[in-house]
Chains A and B, each alone.
Chain A
C-alpha cells in the first residue's frame, strides 16, 4: 500500500469532505491529515461546500405534535433533579454537575466562588439578557444571563492575542445597578479561548453588567446589559 501524499490526498479530498470516501481510504486520508496542516485546511474548505449544499434543502414542516414529542423525549432523558438538597448553593452546584459538562475548553467547575444571591428574583421579567464582552474597545466575547428559574449565565470568550488572561483561570462576576458585584464562578481559558456556563441567580431588575477578572483581580473585559424599561 503506497503512502498517502498531499497530491493523492487532494484527489480524494472532495469525497472525504462529503463523507463518502470508503473506509480504508478514509482512514489513510485522516492519518495524513493528522500530520499535514495544509491538507487539513484544504479539506475544511471543501467541507464548507457540503455544508452549503445541505443549506439549500428546503425547510419542511414536521408532522403535527412533533415539537411536543421531542420535548417529552428530552425531558424523559434528563436525569432527575436532586430533591434532598434545599440550599441554593448546593442545588446550584449539583445542577452544574448535571447540566454543564463543558469539556474541552470548558470550564466548568463553576462554583469555587460560592455565588451569593443577588436579590429576590423577578419572575415577571424573564427576558434573556445578553451583551458583548469588551476589552480595550474590542469585542472579545458575549455573555448571556437568564433571569428565569433556574437562572443561569453563559459566556464565550476569545482573548487570543491579548497578553493577559490567555491561559489562566478567570473569574466572572455580575454587576448590579447600585455598583455592587456578585461572583458567579470561575473557569480556565485554553489558548485564550473558552466558554462556560453555570446556574446563577440573575435578578433582571438590578443586574446591569458583568466583569471578567484575571487571577490577580484585574479586569480583563466588561459587559453592559442594555437598559430595560422600568417595571410598572
Chain B
C-alpha cells in the first residue's frame, strides 16, 4: 500500500510535494473520528515520547500538540523557554543534544528565529516538527487551514483565496501560500504597503510554474472581491513599536474585515483566522461570530492534523 508521507521530519510546507500534502490531509481526516469518540485515545504511539519545546508562548498550538500526542498514547513533555537551560546560557545545539540523550521520538519546536527546526533536525536523532519558526513557516497551521478549506470547498483547484494582514511577518501566510499554490489555488495577498512587500510574489518559485498563482493587491477590497476563502491574519500588537502603520484604529478602518467588505467575496465564502483574534481590529466581531467564520473548526481540525503528523513522523522505524 502506498505510504502518504515518507519523511522523518516536518520542517515546512515549502519542502513538500502536492501528493505529500494530500497524504497528510487524508490521514488527518481519518483522525477526526478518534476525537469524537467517548474514549478519545488510541494505543498507536504507546511508549513513544514527544517533547514540546516552545521558545515562544502559544497556549493554543502547544495544547493542540499535547492533546494530539496524548490521544495517540504518547508521553508528552512540555518545556518552555522560561524554565529551559537556554536562559542559563546553553546553546541551542547543546539543548538539543541533551534532550536527544533522553531518547525522545519526536521534538515539536517553536522558536522566534527562522531556521531553528532545520538546525535541530541536523543534530537530533528525534523527528522534528516545526510548530512555527520566526517569520518562516508554520506548517501544521497551514495544514489545518487546508483541511478546513477542503471540508467546505471539497477541492483547491481554481479556488481564490485572499490573505489579509501582516504578510511580511507571517509564517502562517508563507506556509499557506506554498500549500495553496501547490494544490492549485490562487492566492491574493493584501495589507499595508509596509507589511506586504511587492516582491513577495517571488516567494512561489517561477521555476515551479506557480508564480501566476500569487497576486499582491494594494487594497483589501481588491483581494476579497470574488474570493472563495478570506484568511485574516492577526495583527501582532507586540510588533507595533516598529510602526509599520500609524495606529491600530487606522489599520482597522483600512484593513479590518467587516460584513460590508465580506459582501464583496462570493456568497458562500468562508472566513479563517489563525487566532488569537484581535476583535474590532483585524476582524469585526459580527464577522468572527457569523456562520461564515470557521475559526473554531480550524482549532478542531488542528488536533486531528497534529495527530496525523505525529503518527506519520513517529509511526515507524524506517521513515527516513
A and B are partners in one complex rather than unrelated chains? no
Residues of B within 8 A of A (CB): none
Residues of A within 8 A of B (CB): none
